[in-house]
Amino acid sequence: MAGKGYFGLFLGIVRFILRDYPVRYEYISKGARTRAGLEYKLPGMIEWDSKPDSELLRLMRCGSQAAMEEVYKRYLPSVWRYVYSRLDGDRCAAEDVVSETFLAAVRGLKSLDPDSGPIYPWLIGIVRHKLQDWRRSRRRMCCSLETDCRSVSPVDSANPQDRLEAAERRRRVADAMATLSDDDRIVLEWKYIEELTVRQIADRTGRTEKAIENVLYRARKAFRMAF
């Protein structure tokens, strides 16, 4: 019971934090999702969401645009959260880093070995390089541009104490998630933020449901210790 209560709290905190993030599927416009076939499924349509990364990579090598769109749909929310939390909520900078990450990914995915493992750790490797690039160039940013970027941050009408408490919750969750391995973090996010079933996660990763349950157990334990 204590564990369920704890993760109910965790889920509430994370969903609270996501209100400040301009992305789950919302980051992709509805029109773009519809054009990409992500809003509905017709009889006979390929179930892209259930395909493991290795198969998506093989399809991309054959020139499949739909496979590339599925990779984008699958990993954009997690990549955004990773970047946004490390840039202190600077949306303008986060958008730049995420865009640069996926631009580099598009150039490199087709040459990635399908048997090299999950795509997510590879994407996070690109993200880390792009974050380093952004930090190196930060001092050269024009002050007026920096001010404009920060001006698009969401306005919080709460009192100062509420803002401080919310910021502290965000920091603690981000810090705890940062301690997890890439594998643990993406599985935990898919389960508790994207609300995928264990079966769906198993399909995406090409693992058994039992293996995913073991990863979730390990990830929950690691998060609880870090939080």
The predicted-structure confidence for 185-204, as pLDDT tens digits, reads as follows 999 989 888 889 999 999 99
Of residues 179 and 25, more confidence is placed in 179
**For the chain, how many structural domains are there in total?**
2
Residue among 209, 218, 210, 205 at smallest CA distance from 117: 205
Task: Specify if 62 maps to a domain.
Answer: yes
Compute CA distances 97 → 87, 215, 226, whole Å.
10, 29, 27
Compute CA distances 168 → 85, 137, 171, 204, whole Å.
12, 28, 5, 33
CA atoms within 13 A on the CB side of 185: 20
Residue among 101, 105, 108, 119 at smallest CA distance from 56: 119
From 110, 135, 152, the end of a domain falls on 152
Sign (positive or negative) of CA dihedral 212, 214, 217, 220: negative
Strands (E), 46-185: none
The boundaries of the domain holding residue 182 are 160-227
- DSSP calls for 19-60: TTSS-SSTTS-HHHHHHTT-S---TT---GGGS-HHHHHHHH
From 152, 173, 201, the end of a domain falls on 152
Residues 114-157 have pLDDT tens digits of 888 889 999 999 999 999 988 887 656 544 444 444 444 554 55
- pLDDT band, residue 166 (cuts 50/70/90): confident
pLDDT (0 to 100) of residue 148: 45
> With DSSP H G I counted as helix, E B as strand and the rest as coil, what are the percentages for the chain, rounded to 5?
70, 0, 30
pLDDT (0 to 100) of residue 139: 57
Residues 34, 37, 42, CA angle at the centre, nearest 5°?
Answer: 115
CATH number at residue 164: 1.10.10.10
Instruction: Give burial (CB, 10 Å; 0-12/13-18/19+) of 65.
Output: exposed
Token pair belonging to 196: 């995928």
CATH number at residue 60: 1.10.1740.10
Residues 40-90 have pLDDT tens digits of 343 444 467 788 999 999 998 888 888 888 998 899 999 998 999 888 778
The verdict on 143 and 53 lying in the same domain is yes
pLDDT(181) > 60? yes
